[in-house]
Structure 1
Amino acid sequence: MTDSTPDNERETLLEFPCEFPIKAFGKKDGDFAKRVFEIIKVHAPELTREDLSARESSGGKYVAVTAQITAHSQSQLDAIYSDLTDSGAVLMSL
């Protein structure tokens, strides 16, 4: 049996719109936070630089960037995670 529920209507525990943190991990370089910002901003145009925070790993080789967005749908979140994964710079995203 196949599920005929459209992607934008599938079940989720989230109630939209909601505040949602997106975290991306990558190697520390001068452009990583900027790249993460630009990827997410395509899908969340209201995102500002003030909505981002960054934290270096204990060894200083990696960085975690967190963007606090207002999520409007599951499909929006799926698109953000897909683009982050496809970027090549992001090693992992949560």
Structure 2
Amino acid sequence: MTEQEKDAKGFEFPCEYPVKAMGPNTEEFVVKITEIVKQHAPEVSRNSVHSRKSSSGKYQSVTVLVYAHSKDHLINIYQEIRQVEEVVWTL
């Protein structure tokens, strides 16, 4: 087993993977997260993006389904998402 296979335990790449981020409940936040993900996964379509408001309505989670090619591919996406000031957390 290679080192990369050990690190990616539980995942067999390539695979579909839901990239998630939580931030303010605004359309701008959805657009910002979607555009970042599209830079790394151009195949993302409107049908790949879903959002859900928090119970208070102050926040929303944005999920973008991507076709992940490798662990590094996902790491690069999340690194850029985490640089967005409005992001509260990622999953």
Question: Please, what TM-score do these two structures have when normalized by structure 1?
Answer: 0.86
- Contact 1:37 / 1:49 at 8 angstroms: preserved in 2? no
Map 1:12-91 → 2, pairs under 5 A: 12-13=8-9, 14-91=11-88
| Structure 1 residue identity aligned to 2:81 | L
Q: Write the distance in 2 (CA, Å) between the matches of 1:89 and 1:59.
A: 17
What is the aligned-residue RMSD (CA, Å)?
A: 1.2
Query: Is there any run of 5+ residues in structure 1 with no aligned partner, and where?
Result: none
**Counterpart residue type for residue 73 of structure 2:** Q
* AA aligned opposite 1:52: V
Give TM-score, length-normalised by structure 2. 0.89
Identity value in percent: 39
Q: Number of aligned pairs?
A: 87
**Where does structure 1 differ by over 3 angstroms across 4 or more consecutive aligned residues?**
none
1:29-51 CA distance string (max 9 Å, x none): 22010001001111111111210
Larger Cα-atom Rg: 1
